[in-house]
Amino acid sequence: MAIDFKLSESIDTQRQMTQMVAEQMMRPVSRHFDEHEHDIPWDYINAMWPIMRQNPMFGVVDKPETAVDPNKPKKPKTGNVRMVHLIEALSWGDAGIYLTTPGGALGGAAVAAAGTSEQKSRFLARFADSETPVWGSMAMTEPQAGSDTSAIRTTAVRDGDSWILNGEKIYCTGGRLSLEESQGLVVVWATVDPKLGRAGMKAFVVEAGTPGMEVTKLEHKMGIRASDTAAVVFTDCRIPFDNVLGNPEIPKPEAPAASADAPKGFKGAMKTFDATRPAVAASALGIARAALELLREQLTAAGVAIRDDVPVHEMSAVERDLLELEAQHKAAWLLTLKAAWMMDSGEANTVEASACKVKAGEAATVITQKAVELLGPLGYTRELLAEKWMRDAKINDIFEGTGQINRLIIARRILGFSSRELK
């Protein structure tokens, strides 16, 4: 099946509307929220909530057709392709403000990927039914456990019909919004048996207001300052037994395969990233597009002609740099579209999701840094947003799997090695 790059009318219309939101609601306040970290962009949030309620998973889950005509060809799914186009446009406006968009986010995506049918119904309904904005988040990283999830120390101990969670999580994107500013939820990764490593890892849903859970800190960051990044502590935090995503049992080698309705906890939740890594790539490329457009505009205003119809050896250094940056941007965008299209087509896309995340994170970092350089002293000042975009871009090479970890994932899949064989 060939990839069709032509946008459907509905996606193109939504993309244009989203670009208008970015231009009119986000870009004008971008500097304010950069300089007033931890302020919440409520005007944007309240404007977006009615839209997000109609599609709480931000396009990842296609709406079912109300009536199916057996004689009509089935419409192809487009949720993920739609998602990356919208996220790219919003991040062009402001990547930090985009991250405050209400909805399921990583937490909702984890429930969708690893939850049972009952859990999806119970936990995801709030993202469509609530009259006020609601957020989801994920808590995985710990002070001693970043990329190495086997080092996670947060524990979940069964106590009758409950689990009791104890531990500390850091760098939880949207932690304050999901747990203090709404009746949201957080998906917490914890171990039921530290001796088992990843085999003992489970994902648990903890709802806002649960006793024993507290947001203890908001980070002061280099970039994406409109987005809150929280530390969350769990102290004898009791949750219902059926809040563990998927199968609560620890798999044994001789045990039969789990049913389709109960994905394995760790592997099921990890599938979340096959959908969300293209989203991170799209966000990075929205920032990169903003920097490229500003750079071309400023060079043109300064009388620097950018020729793309002459041999490379006849171009100036600035021309070569700009065209190389634009080529890197386009390459990363095509990788991102492929990963999203494969997800919509039901194809395994773990390699492609990691590849686009690596390429986009690296491209956005290089593009924004080079933009500041080529703009000279003006690029380093706050008169333009170029220096902010350079600070915002770097996170896309770090969160949801660093560039190094995603390269390992790609290598393992291509070479057929396990995580123990290739570290």
List 180, 181, 400, 421, catalytic entry: 400
Count CB atoms within 10 A of the CB of residue 253. Answer: 5
Element (H, E) at 83: helix 79-98
Q: Do residues 295 and 374 make contact, with C-beta atoms less than 8 angstroms apart?
A: yes
**314 is known as an active-site residue:** no
Spell out the SS3 assignment of 214-280: EEEEECCCCCCCCCCEEEEEEEEEEEEHHHECCCCCCCCCCCCCCCCCCCCHHHHHHCHHHHHHHHH
Would you call 331 exposed, middle or buried from its count of C-beta atoms within 10 A (0-12, 13-18, 19+)?
middle
The phi and psi torsions of 302 (rounded to 5 degrees) equal: -85, 0
Cα(19)–Cα(13) distance, rounded to whole angstroms? 10
Cα(24)–Cα(125) distance, rounded to whole angstroms? 30
Residue type (1 letter), 32: H
As a residue count, the chain comes to 423
Q: Do residues 237 and 211 make contact, with C-beta atoms less than 8 angstroms apart?
A: yes
Per DSSP, 174 falls in state T
Cα(373)–Cα(420) distance, rounded to whole angstroms? 42
Neighbouring residues of 16: CB distance < 8 A, sequence distance ≥ 6: none
CA distances from 24 to 16, 30, 92, 210, 388 (A): 12, 11, 12, 38, 19
DSSP character string of 31-68 = HHHHHSTT---HHHHHHHHHHHHHSTTTTSSPPPPSS-
Catalytic residues: 400
